Structure 1
Amino acid sequence: MTAATATGFEPGPASTRTGRLRSGFAGRLLLAQALVLVAGALTTWLVASAAGPSIFHDHLERAGVGHTTSETRHVEEAFASALLVSLSVALLAAVTAALGVSWYFSRRVQRSISPVTAAASQVAAGRYDARVPDPGLGGEFASLTRTFNALAERLGAVETTRRKMLADLAHEMRTPLATIDAHLEAVEDGVRELDETTLGVLRASTRRLRRLAEDVSAISHAEEGRLDIDPQPVDPASLVEGAAGAARGRYASKGVRLETSIHTHDPVLADTDRIGQVLTNLLDNALRHTPPEGTVTLTCSRIDRWVQYTVADTGAGIAGEHLGRLFDRFYRVDTARDRNHGGSGIGLSIAKALVEAHGGSISVDSSGVDRGATFTVRLPVANT
């Protein structure tokens, strides 16, 4: 199903659309302008024919020029006849000239609207590269074309992201599904036994699929503005202690030191569960990329009207060309390494969406490969 049929819009051939537009809009516009001009001309003619002779008669009497009744009537009839003839000719010429200008204007407007109609039909059919040139009819039309082109570009970017996300999602699901299928087939064929080792592999694959489904659901809800967030004044130290406490076991098992540093107790406006999820994602991300004997430091401090959290590690670091895309969905600096480390490629996207939903910001900085990375989260200070 195309975008056109999904919206109930069938664009049809371009020539048909242009023909309908030319005979419809341009014709109706020209007819409306012609009616206005004719109405104005008739009104002018009627008013002049009714008021002109009477005014001329009054001025003739005031002039005091001696004329017989017959001569006076002849002069008045001559004036009325000359007035009506000259007025009729003038109005006919004016209406004709105005209709000519109206015809040109209608054609110009029609030629300006036709590209918009054709481009809109292309966008409805899924061709998001359609663009409309500036018709040169003034600021309003220029604004219309800019808005339309920006909309088409945004739709194209959304469609590209959607396709990439579906492709990445299929790729993410392929590995755990293949693992599950291979082990089940091996058990059925008697090659492997359904022992704790096999069950452990199956459970790990299903956990990976479940985590992927939860991550996709979370990022979709966040980007659609459907997150259940209830920001409240919270002691920032409690968020640090909660996230660090939950992660210490994982850090200890890998041999990575987790340190905390708290420099403020000014209340931060945050949803405890959601920001706890953000800090957990950042700590897990740092753990995946920090070797044993490395160190990860979670710091909390006050910067102006913000409470700032930083997660700094001594791990693999990030090359400069990757920093701008690190929060994109499914983006990985090193695809093979990150997948082996169990990352879905969505954790940082979820963190970004949650922080921005709080009115805050998140950023990353790294001096380069093997020089560690620092993630910074800023949240607004609660008004007290």
Structure 2
Amino acid sequence: MIGQLIVLLAGALTITVLTVIIGPAVFHYHLLQTDLPVGSDELVHIERAYRDALALALGVGLVVSLLAAGLVTWNLARRLRQTLHGLTSAVDELSRGHYSTRVPSVGAGTELDSLAATLNDMAARLDAVEETRRQLLSDLAHELRTPIATLSAHHEAMADGVIEPETAMPILAGQTVRLSRLADDISEVSRAEEGQLAVELRPFAVHDLLESILREWEERFETAEVALHLEMAARRSPMLDADPHRLAQVLGNLLSNALRHTSPGGTVTLSATMESSTVVISVADDGEGFTAEDQSRLFERFFRADSARTRENSGSGIGLTISRALVDAHGGTMDAASEGPGWGATFTIRLPRAIADR
């Protein structure tokens, strides 16, 4: 505001100097071109009238300009100050860990509104990361509590002579394996989210991979009384430049997930099709399905769509997270779809075909 006033005053001073010094001289010169005698009362009166009218107009114009400029500048400065104060307060709250803070849009200009929107987006992301961190710690505590409690109880029972070591050893070994698997899963998902999972690419036929997966899993599906079908639309198998072991890990996670959420008598279908330069691999079931709200979180680590399912039987909750990271490492995409609870689910993987196969 002070800078604006300085500019206005400088302009007013310049106009005043020009009108007081140059204007009267020019006006006097033109009066001399008339027939009025020099020094006459008429000439003096005309020049005085000119100076008075000029001073009045200049004074009124200067006052109106200063008032208008001051009002506009004060309004803009106030809005700008409110916006900057809101931004400063929001950044201060975020720095103290209050990630639910948001900056209201006050219409202070496109740039500041864009900055406020960006800050709000960053705050939302930080809030989501913090929520994930809290959920992660909670899930880890829950995952660790059961095997640790089991190990502790059996050690105390053995120390008190309530249970024989030969009887307790299988249970202790099982819980130790569970803890080891959990540690490996945490390490795996960390490397997956950092993009550090190693893949060894080589050409292979998709049909060979799917038939191998079918042979590996059909016994477990028969035991669970769930039908497992393989559908391959193309007569000639498409080729992939990928890591067959990593893709087998992905499909294993999807089949395990489908088997867990499909009741006896249900059906799981493993299929492969071609779409131009893309190979589409799908795992579809007619089991529990999931809600639209759960769909956006399916690939989050440690998230389970069925929170009531026991931890012992529901896995560690990071299989889909690792699977998507592995598909991303191959330059593909992975998504999930369901029409709702009770209508089954379909997980779809899209991978680029081998260049030679195209």
Give TM-score scaled by structure 2 length.
Answer: 0.76
Partner amino acid, structure 2, of 1:380: P
Question: What is the DSSP-based 3-state SS (H/G/I as helix, E as strand, rest coil) of the residue aligned with 1:339?
Answer: coil
Percent identity between the two aligned chains:
42
Distance (whole Å) between structure 1 residues aligned to residue 72 and residue 290 of structure 2 = 63
1:207 aligns with 177
Distance 2:123 2:159 in 1: 52
Partner of 2:144: 173
Q: Indicate the residue corresponding to 1:362 in structure 2.
A: 335
Aligned: 1:300 with 2:300:
no
- For residues 184-224 of structure 1, the C-alpha deviation after alignment (integer angstroms, 9 at most, x for no partner) is 333344444443x5443333223322322333333344445
Which residue of structure 1 aligns with residue 101 of structure 2? 130
How far did 1:135 drift? 1.8
Alpha-carbon distance, 1:179 to partner: 1.8
Please give the secondary structure, in 2, of the residue aligned with 1:340. coil
Contact preservation (8 Å) 2:154, 2:168:
yes
Unpaired runs of 5+ residues, structure 1, are 1-29
**In 1: Cα distance, 2:31 partner to 2:202 partner:** 91
CA deviation vs aligned residue, 1:253-283 (integer Å, no higher than 9, x gap)? 7787655443443334645444332112112
C-alpha distance in 1, partners of 2:293/2:127?
A: 23
Q: Distance in 2 between matches of 1:72 and 1:366?
A: 98
Q: Does 1:31 align with 2:5?
A: no
User: What letter is aligned with 1:376?
Assistant: T
- Residue 348 of structure 1 pairs with residue 310 of structure 2: no
How much does 1:54 deviate? 4.9
For each residue in 1:40-83, what CA deviation from the matched residue of structure 2 results, as whole angstroms up to 9, or x when unmatched?
Answer: 3233334444543454355445x444533788996897488544
Q: Name the residue aligned to 1:219.
A: 189
1:106 alignment partner in structure 2: 77
The amino acid that maps onto 2:134 is: R
What residue identity is the alignment partner of 2:81? Q
* Contact 1:122 1:130 (C-alpha < 8 Å) held by counterparts: yes
CA deviations 1:289-336 (Å, max 9, x no partner) are 55788764422211355312122457x533657862544433334456
CA distance in 2, matches of 1:163, 1:343: 19
Task: For residue 287 of structure 1, report the CA deviation from its aligned partner.
Answer: 3.9
Q: CA deviation at 1:98?
A: 1.8
Q: Note if contact 1:57-1:76 (Cα within 8 Å) is conserved in structure 2.
A: no
1:41 maps to which residue? 12
Aligned amino acid, residue 273 of structure 2: S
Q: 1-side partners of 2:284 and 2:72: how far apart?
A: 70
Q: Is the 8 A contact 1:282 1:375 kept in 2?
A: yes
Pair 150,66 (structure 1): closer, same or farther in 2 beyond 3 Å: same
1:91 to 26, 41, 62: 62
CA contact (8 A) 2:195 2:325 kept: no
Structure-2 separation of matches of 1:45 and 1:230 = 82
Q: CA deviation at 1:175?
A: 1.0
CA–CA distance in structure 1, aligned partners of residues 354 and 55 of structure 2 = 81
Is the CA contact (8 Å cut-off) linking 2:324 and 2:333 kept in structure 1? Answer: no
Equivalent position SS for 2:281: strand
Equivalence map 1:176-195=2 (5 Å): 176-195=147-166
Segments of 5+ residues of structure 2 without an aligned counterpart are none
Matched pairs, number? 351
**Kept in 1: contact 2:334–2:347 (CA 8 A):** no
- Give the SS at the match of 2:303: coil
Contact 1:317 1:366 in 2 (8 A): no
Q: Closer, same or farther in 2 for the Cα pair 1:55/1:375, shift >3 Å?
A: same
- Number of the residue aligned with 2:348: 376
* Deviation (angstroms), 1:163: 1.2
Q: Verify: 1:276 aligned to 2:223, yes or no.
A: no
Separation (CA, whole Å) in 2 of partners of 1:273 and 1:117: 51
Q: 1:240 to 1:99 in 2, by over 3 A?
A: same
Displacement after TM superposition at 1:180 (Å)? 2.1
2:146 partner letter:
T
Q: CA deviation at 1:141?
A: 4.5
Task: Give the whole-Å Cα distance in 2 for the aligned partners of 1:360 and 1:305.
Answer: 14
DSSP-derived class of the 2:336 partner: strand
Asked whether the 8 Å contact 1:323–1:365 carries over to 2, the reply is: no
Range 216-225 or range 165-174, more displaced: 216-225
Q: Is the alpha carbon distance of 1:68 and 1:295 closer, same or farther for their aligned partners in structure 2, counting shifts above 3 Å?
A: closer
Match of 1:12 in 2: none
1:112-138 deviations in Å (ceiling 9; x for gaps): 433333333333333333333332445
- The Cα shift of 1:168 comes to 1.4
Q: Tell me what 2:281 maps to.
A: 309
Deviates more, 1:200-209 or 1:351-360: 351-360
Cα distance in 2 between the residues matched to 1:145 and 1:156: 16
